[in-house]
Amino acid sequence: EADIYQTPRYLVIGTGKKITLECSQTMGHDKMYWYQQDPGMELHLIHYSYGVNSTEKGDLSSESTVSRIRTEHFPLTLESARPSHTSQYLCASSAGTGTYEQYFGPGTRLTVT
């Protein structure tokens, strides 16, 4: 098991609320990623970071934002949740060398009512 953690694991929240999904890793990895996954579908990259103070948008447009103030921490924020944001959010990290192996957290299942 990789040392990458996500909280909360499940979240049900009403429309318009602000939420932050937490992701932490203890492996000292520079690269971190956020993916969005709907049931039966492939993972889509929504944000990534090369290191502290680096954040970039991924392939799938997302209304969420991320920050990378510390190496181990890569939180994702939705300022105003909508039902269209209902999905599974997966965080991953990578040492960024060799095969660029990515280690995934357990995910956060978000439901916006």
Contacts with another protein by CB under 8 A lie at 1, 4, 6, 31, 40-43, 45, 48, 50, 88, 90, 92, 94, 96, 99-107, 109
Least distance to another protein, CB of residue 90, Å: 5
Least distance to another protein, CB of residue 79, Å: 25
Q: What is the dihedral of CA 1, 50, 10, 103, to 10 degrees?
A: -20
Name which of 48 and 81 has its Cβ closer to another protein: 48
